[in-house]
Structure formats: structure tokens, C-alpha cells
A and B are shown apart, each in its own frame.
Chain A
Amino acid sequence: AQSVTQLGSHVSVSEGALVLLRCNYSSSVPPYLFWYVQYPNQGLQLLLKYTTGATLVKGINGFEAEFKKSETSFHLTKPSAHMSDAAEYFCAVSDRGRDDKIIFGKGTRLHILP
């Protein structure tokens, strides 16, 4: 069965510092991997996704993530945090089968310190 683990339900970084949000997955088949962001009182918005090809994926708002099969990880990074990045971030995995479903992690709330 697929699963997603996000390490740290809350992460705090200073404005201008590196953002690193961790995501590990388990899947019996090569997965599709996603990062979504949820701003307060809003729905989710896709940041980036990995399907096939290049393992370093660039997304919106300066975020990127690297698919590492050997580590079963898909960590999200941004070189320099901005106050507007404060939000909840969800990693998600989906298999490629006929009955594919999407499994979300519990989420990581990112706090940006001035």
C-alpha cells in the first residue's frame, strides 16, 4: 500500500533562509509525486509534480523538489524563504494503475520568522 510521511508537522525558518520540507513515500510501483500548498482559508494549489524524466523538478514560487528513488524521498526546497511562503504544504503520492488514488501526507505548516 502507498503511504506518505512528512517529517515535522511544523517547520520554522527565518526570512531569507533555506526552506527544506521533507517527504518520504512508499509505493510498490514508480509513483507520481506531488507537492501542494494550502494558504489559510483556501483550497490546495499544485506547487510541482514528478511523473517521469528529470528527477529535479521546478515548481512555482521558486520551489523545487528532487525525486530520489534510492532514498524514497521527494523533499521540497526553496533557497530563500519569503514571508508569503507561510502556509501548509502537502506531499502526495499516486500510483500509475487503473485504480489509482492519491494519498496525501499529514502536512507541514511552514512558519516564516522575520
Chain B
Amino acid sequence: DSGVTQTPKHLITATGQRVTLRCSPRSGDLSVYWYQQSLDQGLQFLIHYYNGEERAKGNILERFSAQQFPDLHSELNLSSLELGDSALYFCASSGGRGAGAFYNEQFFGPGTRLTVL
């Protein structure tokens, strides 16, 4: 158990819909990262938040957005869903701060499996 929790575990929805994925980092970790894992794209970094502020963006679509709240939990919002958005979405947390945070170990949650029909 990494200490990172993600809800829900599974989500099935239809094209065009909007969903919210939730992540609670390990106690004391200020950084939260979101990743998408799919068969065709592999594992892709989406976005990194540190203590409520966006720090780095990866291959995140404009239809997707994220935020980190004062209690440090984070939400990933996916809108206007397409079939190709079906994937495993992972959240990770670390104690790292700001630039250079990636050298700190990231602890991954179990993921949310999103299926878009």
C-alpha cells in the first residue's frame, strides 16, 4: 500500500460526458502528479501540482483540467469524453517541491480505470 488513494476504482461513462477523478496523496506529500496509461500511448505524464500550484504540464489535452485543493487532495476533470480517453489514470505523490521534484520518489496510487463507451 503506497498510501496514495484514488477514487473511483472503475468508471464507465459515455462519449461526450464529463467525469472527475479524485486523488489523496500520502500524508505530508505536497506534490501530486497525474498520469494516463493506455495500450497505444503507453504511460504519459499529464500534470504536476505542488502545494496547490501547477508546476509542470505534460501531454494534457485542453479538455482535461486538474486542481489541487488546500487539503492537498487533487482532482482530474475530463470533459467531452471520447472513446480514446479510455485508459488507466494514475495519481502519484511525492515530498518533492517545485522544480527538480522528479528526482524524489513518486508513490503511485492504484489507478482509476476509465471506460468510455
Contact = CB atoms under 8 A, between A and B. Distances in A.
Nearest to B108: A43
A102 B45 contact: yes
B67 to A, nearest CB: 19
How many A residues touch the partner, as a band? 20 to 34
Nearest to B110: A43
Dominant secondary structure at the B interface: mixed
Contact of A32 (B90, B92, B102, B109): B102
Interface residues of B, number: 24
Interface of B: 2, 4, 33, 42-45, 48, 56-58, 90, 92, 99-103, 105-106, 108-111
28 contacts: A32-B102, A41-B110, A42-B110, A43-B4, A43-B90, A43-B108, A43-B109, A43-B110, A44-B43, A44-B92, A44-B108, A49-B105, A90-B43, A94-B103, A96-B103, A98-B99, A100-B56, A100-B100, A100-B101, A101-B45, A101-B48, A102-B58, A103-B45, A104-B42, A104-B44, A105-B42, A106-B42, A107-B43
Interface of A: 32, 41-46, 49, 51, 90, 94, 96-107
